[in-house]
Amino acid sequence: TGGCSSSIEPVNRVLAFNFDKISQAGDDIYSCATFDLAPMPSARFMHQSAIVLADTGFQLMVFGGKESRRNWTNSVISLDLKPYFK
């Protein structure tokens, strides 16, 4: 997964990106929409993440990272993506 951040402080905001290709009169136009998902249980940055298919559906898993400028964590948190995957 990829992401973006507007600061060097940890945030629990999760942004999703949707890319579409629209063909009009022989031209290909690409659009990108962003929207907020539910916030993560705790704020992180400088972390690793993956989208996995679990028995209960898709999950966003976040591994380790920093919870503040000085505190690293080795915990794992997840966000249920079932509402966003049809």
Residue range 48-80, pLDDT digits in tens: 888 888 888 888 888 888 887 788 888 888 888
Neighbours of 76 (CB within 10 A): 11
Structure confidence at residue 13 (pLDDT): 72
pLDDT for 22-55, tens place per residue?
Answer: 887 888 888 877 777 777 777 778 888 888 888 8
Position of tokens 């916030």? 39
Confidence of residue 81 (pLDDT cuts 50, 70, 90): confident
